[in-house]
Structure 1
Amino acid sequence: MRELTKKYGGTRAVDRLTFTVEPGHVTGFLGPNGAGKSTTMRVLLGLDAPTSGEALVNGRRYTSLRRPLHEVGALLDANALHPGRSAYNHLLGLALTNGIGPTRVAEVLERVGLAGVARKKAGGFSLGMKQRLGIAAALLGDPGVLMFDEPVNGLDPDGVRWIRDLMRSLAAEGRTVLLSSHLMSEMALTADRIVIVGRGRLIVESAMKDLTDAYDSLESAYLALTAGSVEYGATR
C-alpha cells in the first residue's frame, strides 16, 4: 500500500495510506467503523479503483493477476452467496473459474467444518456457517495472501475461537494474513502485528509486542495514539 487515496464524491474514505503486510504474521487492521478499512480491502481486490496511489498484492494490481484465487483469497461479506445453492455448488462454481477441481472443494469444506452440510442450501446457514463458507472460498486456491473483513462479527464464543485459531494456523504456514476488525480485545488475542487507522489515515504500524510493551496493553496504546484522531466510543 503506497500513498493510497480513495474519494467518494467529496468524501475522502482513505487518505494517503501506506503500510505493508508481511508473510508469516496475522496483521490486525484496527480502527473504528468508518475508518476506511473495508474501502482499503475493496481497492486491494480491484472492486474499487483508487483515486491515487497504489494497492498491490505481491507487487501487482489484483486486476492483473491471471488466476487470482491462487494468489489471494478474501472474505469481505459472508452473505455474498446465492441462497439457493448448496455450499458445495457455491464453492465448485468459484473453483471452476480458476481451474480448481472438485477434490479441492471437498478439502476446504472439511477444513472449515462444513463437510457434513456440503449439500445443504447455503441460504439456510447461520451467520457462523456462512463465515466458514466464505473462509472456505478464500482458501480454495491455496493462496499465499488472505484478507478477512470483520470475520468474527455476530459469532458465538466457539466460532470466535475457531476463527482465531485458524488465522494463527494460516500465518504459521507462512501465509500473509490481513485481519480487519474494530474490536481491540480480539486483535490483542489474534494479531502479532497491528496497523491502526482513523479517518482513512495511518496512525501506527507496529509489532503487537512492541506496542503493548510501550503502553502496557493494546487498549492503552489505542487511546494514547488516537487521541484527537478518532472517537474511542466507536470502537466499543
Structure 2
Amino acid sequence: MIELHHLTKRYGATVAVDGLSFKVEPGHVTGFLGPNGAGKSTTMRLILGLDAPTSGQALVNGRRYASLREPMREVGALLDAGAVHGGRSAYNHLLCLARTNGIGPKRVFEVLDQVGLASVARKRVSGFSLGMKQRLGIAAALLGDPGILMFDEPVNGLDPDGVRWIRDLMRSLAAEGRTILLSSHLMSEMALTAERIIIVGRGRLIAEATVAELTARYPSLEDAYMALTADSVQYGAAR
C-alpha cells in the first residue's frame, strides 16, 4: 500500500504539493490525474524518496522508501524511460540494478523476456527507440517482483500493440494483488485501464473515486476530469 499523510513540498515560494493525503490500495490499477503543474510527478518523486517533503510523509508498506533495505523488492517504478546509460546493453543495465538489490541474473533474463526485449538484450540502449526504452524501464520496475508498481506515462512511444500490452500487463499485475499507481494524460487509456482515480490540482486532492462512480455522474471519464479540474491551471514548474 502507498499512503500519503498531509504531504507538502515547497520549492521556495512555489507550493508543488499542498497537504496531500490519499491511499493507493492493492488489487486494482489506480489512475493518477491532474493538469500540468498539478504536482503529480513531484508526488511520485516524494514517494520514492527522490525528493524530501517539506512536511507530512509518504509511506510504502508503512515505511519511508529510504528505510527499505532492498527497495526494488517492494517498489518498482518507471518515471523517466530516458534515464539510462546509452553505452550499456539492456542486459547490463538491468544487471547493475539487480546487483544493488541482491537480485540474480536469472531474473534479468525473465523480465527482458516478459517485456519483449530478449532478442535485443545485448544491444546498446543508445540504439533503442523510445518505445523500446519504455519497455526497458518497465522491465526495471518489474525486476524485484515488487508488490507496488508506479508508472508515469508508460505508454509514451509505444505502438498500438505495445499500448495494449502494457494495459493488459497492469491489469494482470493488479489481479495478482499488487498495488498499481498509473499517471497519464491519456483519458481514453485511463478509462480502459484504471478502476480507481485520484485527481489532483494545484498540489491538492480534488477527487478520489472509482471510474464507475465518475462515469455515473458525467458522460465520460474525460468529461469528469475536465469538469473537476476546470479551476486548476498550470503553475510553477511542478508536474
Scaled by the length of structure 1, the TM-score of the pair is: 0.95
**1:87 counterpart = 2:63:** no
SS in structure 1 of the partner of residue 60 of structure 2: coil
1:99 aligns with 102
> Partners in 2 of 1:173 and 1:127 — Cα distance?
28
The equivalent of 2:73 in structure 1 is 70
Give yes or no for contact 2:134–2:156 (8 Å, CA) kept in 1.
no
Instruction: Show structure 2 runs of 5+ residues with no match.
Output: 235-239
The whole-number CA distance in structure 2 between the counterparts of 1:91 and 1:228 is 42
Instruction: Find 1:118's aligned residue among 117, 121, 124.
Output: 121
State the Cα distance separating 1:117 from its structure 2 match. Answer: 0.5
State which of 199, 220, 226 in structure 2 corresponds to 1:223: 226
Residue 187 of structure 1: aligned partner:
190
Of 128, 150, 155, 2:153 maps to 150
In the TM superposition, structure 1's runs of 4+ consecutive aligned residues that sit over 6 Å from their partners are none
Query: Partner letter of residue 88 of structure 1?
Result: Y
Q: Contact 2:35–2:232 at 8 Å: present in 1 too?
A: no
- Give the secondary structure class of the aligned counterpart of 2:156: coil
Kept after mapping to 2: 8 A contact 1:30/1:187? no
CA deviation after TM superposition for structure 1 residue 229, in Å: 2.7
Partners of 1:43 and 1:69 lie apart in 2 by: 16
Give 1:154 shift: 3.1
What displacement does 1:80 show?
0.9
> How far 1:137 sits from its partner (Å)?
0.5
Structure 1 counterpart SS, 2:59: coil
Separation in 2 of the partners of 1:186 and 1:79? 22
- Residue identity matched to 1:182: H
The one-letter code sitting in structure 1 at the alignment partner of 2:173 is L
Match of 2:210 in 1: 207
The answer on whether the counterparts of 1:25 and 1:174 sit within 8 Å (CA) in structure 2 is yes
C-alpha separation in 1, matches of 2:156 and 2:139: 17
Q: Of residues 48, 52, 56 in structure 2, which corresponds to 1:49?
A: 52
Partner residue of 1:171 out of 170, 174, 177: 174
> Residue 237 of structure 2 corresponds to which residue in structure 1?
none
Say which SS state the counterpart of residue 222 (structure 1) adopts.
helix
Partner residue of 2:142? 139
* Alpha-carbon distance in structure 1 between the residues aligned to 2:226 and 2:191: 14
Aligned partner (choices 61, 66, 72) of residue 64 of structure 2: 61
What residue is the counterpart of 1:234 in the other structure? none
SS of the equivalent of 1:189 reads helix
CA contact (8 A) 1:33 1:182 kept: no
Provide the C-alpha distance between the structure 1 equivalents of 2:111 and 2:64, rounded to a whole number of angstroms: 26
RMSD (CA atoms): 1.1
Asked if structure 1 preserves the Cα contact closer than 8 Å seen for 2:35 and 2:229, the reply is no
Can you give the 5+ residue segments of structure 1 that lack an aligned partner in the other structure?
A: 232-236
Normalising by structure 2, what TM-score? 0.94
CA–CA distance in 1 between the matches of 2:230 and 2:119? 48
> Matched residues in 1 for 2:101 and 2:170: separation?
24
The alpha-carbon deviation at position 2 of structure 1 amounts to 1.0
Which amino acid in 2 is paired with 1:178?
A: L
User: Matches of 1:52 and 1:137 in 2, distance apart?
Assistant: 30
